[in-house]
Amino acid sequence: MNVDLARAQFALTSIYHFLFVPVSIGLAFLVALLHTAWYRTEKPEYERLTRFFGTLLLINVAVGVVTGLVQEFEFGMNWSAYSRFVGDVFGAPLAMEGLAAFFLESTFLGLWLFGWGRLPKRIHLACIWLVSIGTLLSAMFILAANSWMQHPVGYALNSHGQPELNNVLALFTNPTFLWGYVHVVFASLVTGSLVMLAVSAWYLKQQREVAIFSNAARLSVLVLLPAIVLQMFVGNQLGLIETKYQPMKIAAAEAQWKSCQPCSFSAFQIGGGKNDHTPTQLIEIPHLLSILATGSWNGAVEGLEPLQQEYERKYGPGEYVPNVFIQYWSMRVMAYLASVILLFALWGVWLVHKGSLARSKWFVRLGVWAVVTPFLMNTAGWLLTENGRQPWIVQGLMKTANANSPSVTQTDIWISLSVFVVVFLFLGAMDLVLMLRYARKGIGDQEPGDAGAAAVPAMSY
């Protein structure tokens, strides 16, 4: 029971934090593009757009940092056995993230915020690009640590049976890291683009600042299309890697209990789960699972039942099948929403080509609400990745059931979980109110000296 509560708490924290991370990464890149456009053209509309979306970036970063700090405490609070076990490996990328990426991001974000009118134009532009690089580096170090949990590399077991890092480079050449990291980067660009598009579409729908926000809408669409195409391609390659190193995860994502060759992909199913090995599968697409899992037309996919038997022989008695229901539907929510976003992006680029994006009423209306899709897709992807590793907290080395803090009681976890829920609801409400308030404030309402969330007097360069 303690383990289940601790898992629920960490899942809540991680999912909530990951609502903000992709926005920070994607929006930082887009704000850097806007700032670059202003630097190159000196058009005042690009300066206004840079300041406007820079404000939204600052709000999101501020709230996101607070939610991320909670995770650090939970490692020691609820997962002390895990922390002791992996400390010699896990500590390295986390230290790199804190000492390098986070300080890079926060330092240059401050310089960019207060540098309007104070720093030379070229240096000021470099600051926002360094912020964007900092967000990418932060994600890189975190994903390196997470990928090691999915596929441990670059370590040796000491005399106490604990892993010790003996090859730092292996963390960053880990196949699960290389494809997983790029997948997250493109997912972040998709998220940031749809956030910018939603805000711009709202203004276009209201017929306010149409000329200025048409530029932002075009930029977001032109970034969105290649980002979603590349994300889907990289996601497919990541599936091939996971079939090799985590075959149980892939089999569970299709609810494939028996081995097959070739293998069909079911669009939907009725029933399913650990107690239903013969669900009713609807709209089966021949050979598609073989292509997605193995990259070949007639590729073989091991089923959950033979994998369970194999793991029992290798690791001893136990239940090694993850929650099949979560795997199956998380995979489809992620894939189907990505397909919807792709079609929406193609529509947007076609409208940009015709020069009628701002005049398309239906695209503008849907653009406001399309912002919901990447958050659902990102959450489904997180569930697919993390639930699919269960019952392992570190694949093949440590089970989740052995990783919690034995001295922490159910009461302790319930209290902290309740507090976190209240705090997160407050932070979420505050973030939403601030984002909506500043998003609706209007770009024309900003004084020339406004810089992000703080008003900084503009000075001539």
Express each pLDDT in 143-196 by its tens digit. 888 888 888 988 888 888 888 888 888 889 899 898 999 999 999 999 999 999
CB neighbours (10 Å) of residue 248?
A: 25
Tell me, what amino acid is at 319?
E
Residue 66, classed as helix, strand or coil, is helix
Q: What angle do CA 79, 82, 87 make, to 5 degrees?
A: 115
Comparing 64-68, 77-81, 251-255, the range with the smallest average pLDDT is 64-68
Percentage of the residues of the chain whose pLDDT score is greater than 90: 18
Mean of pLDDT values over 281-303: 82
Residues 32 and 30: their CA atoms lie apart, in Å, by 5
Partnered with residue 265 across adjacent β-strands are 285
Residue 170: exposure state from Cβ atoms within 10 A (0-12, 13-18, ≥19) = middle
Q: How far apart are the first and last CA of the chain?
A: 62
**Confidence tier at 1 by pLDDT (50, 70, 90):** low
Q: Kindly report the CA angle at 184 between 64 and 218, in degrees rounded to 5?
A: 85
Which pair of structure tokens corresponds to residue 203? 């203004």
For residue 461, the model assigns a pLDDT of 29
Residue 337 pLDDT more than 50? yes
pLDDT of res. 305: 87
Q: What is the mean pLDDT of residues 306-315?
A: 89
Average confidence (pLDDT) over 74-99: 78
CB 131 within 8 A of CB 109: yes
Given this model, what pLDDT does residue 126 score?
A: 92
State the pLDDT at residue 193. 93
Higher-pLDDT residue of 347 and 207 is: 347
179: burial class by Cβ within 10 Å (0-12, 13-18, 19+)? buried
Q: Using the predicted structure, report yes or no on whether residue 113 has a pLDDT greater than 80.
A: yes
pLDDT of residue 409: 74
Residues 435-448 have pLDDT tens digits of 777 777 767 544 44
Token pair 């703080």 is at which residue? 454
pLDDT value at residue 456: 36
Q: Measure the CA–CA gap between 450 and 452, rounded to whole angstroms.
A: 6
pLDDT at 190: 94
Confidence category of residue 264, pLDDT binned at 50, 70, 90: confident
Q: Is 418 exposed, middle or buried (0-12, 13-18, 19+ CB in 10 A)?
A: exposed
Q: How far apart are CA 316 and CA 309, in angstroms?
A: 10
Alpha carbon distance 55, 204 (integer Å): 20
Q: What is the pLDDT of residue 74?
A: 74
CA distance 143 to 90: 11
354-388: per-residue pLDDT in tens? 888 888 889 888 988 999 999 999 999 888 888 88
Q: At residue 411, what is the residue type?
A: T
Please check whether residue 395 is in contact with residue 150, taking contact to mean a CB–CB distance below 8 angstroms: yes
Based on C-alpha coordinates, what's the Rg of the chain?
23
pLDDT at residue 342, as a whole number: 94
Please say if the pLDDT value at position 115 is more than 90: no
Higher-confidence residue of 333 and 420: namely 333
In degrees and rounded to multiples of 5, residue 446 shows phi and psi of -75, 140
pLDDT band at 451 (very low <50, low <70, confident <90, very high): very low
Give the H/E segment covering residue 281. Answer: strand 280-285
pLDDT tens digits, residue range 198-236? 998 988 888 888 888 888 889 999 999 999 999 989 988
In angstroms, what CA-CA distances link 364 with 93, 185, 227, 346, 359? 42, 26, 20, 14, 8
pLDDT of residue 444: 56
* Peptide bond between residue 175 and the one before it cis (omega within 30 degrees of 0): no
More confident residue, 67 or 132: 132
Give pLDDT, residue 222.
93
Other beta carbons within 10 Å of 455: 12
Mean pLDDT of the chain, nearest integer: 83
Distances in Å between the Cα of 272 and the Cα atoms of 257, 320, 376 are 10, 17, 22
Q: How confident is the model at residue 454 (pLDDT cuts 50, 70, 90)?
A: very low
- The average pLDDT across 104-129 equals 87
How far apart, in whole angstroms, are the C-alpha atoms of residue 148 and residue 178? 11
